[in-house]
Chain A
């Protein structure tokens, strides 16, 4: 099955700086890569996703890049704000149905 590895496990950044989270996947047939944000005690919420026919996607301060050849994808958050503090999960899927998640990255934005 799919194996998704995520790094780093924790990330502390100064407010206004950028944050980058990286994930690798094992199944070359995976074609859908969503990113979820989960605040303490709350549900995972989709913040951005990318499909394998696209190399980069941006939504305001959030961007995701995908390198199919290397089988890795990354989340970039620019101009971080305190409300960006949360756990972020990457995931990969070959058919939009079964999502295989990384272990998560706890992001702390220091004011």
Chain B
């Protein structure tokens, strides 16, 4: 089993540019999560999907962040425009009904 697959692993962009991250969850996992992990801190939930529906996006900065999970499988998280403070590791995770919670390796974003 491939696990949760994320791409790219690293991304460096200039501020005000757009950026997108992609996540493919474990096959059969209906719940998908996007977390942000700032340096030296624990991950913080940005958004949770149940199949294709976003059921918890209270922590997502909606003025510049957007996400989608078309067809209820893989997902894309977008930032437009990026700010210096968005530099972090963006982690995707998936589970089946809350069980088997598994994280991907993350995308390390650096905004310069």
Contact = CB atoms under 8 A, between A and B. Distances in A.
Interface string B86-112: 000001000101110111111000000
Interface string A1-29: 00010100000000000000000000000
Size category of the A interface is 20 to 34
Contacts, number: 50
Contacts of A44: 43, 91, 103
Main secondary structure of the interface of B (DSSP, over half): strand
Contacts of A95: 98
Contact of A99 (B41, B45, B105, B106): B45
Interface residues of B, number: 22
B105 A46 contact: no
Interface of B: 4, 31, 33, 40-45, 48, 56, 91, 95, 97-99, 101-106
Interface of A: 4, 6, 34, 36, 42-46, 89, 91, 95-104
25 contacts: A4-B42, A6-B42, A34-B101, A36-B103, A42-B105, A43-B103, A43-B106, A45-B103, A46-B101, A89-B42, A89-B43, A91-B42, A96-B95, A96-B97, A96-B99, A96-B101, A97-B31, A97-B33, A97-B48, A97-B56, A98-B45, A99-B45, A101-B44, A102-B42, A104-B42
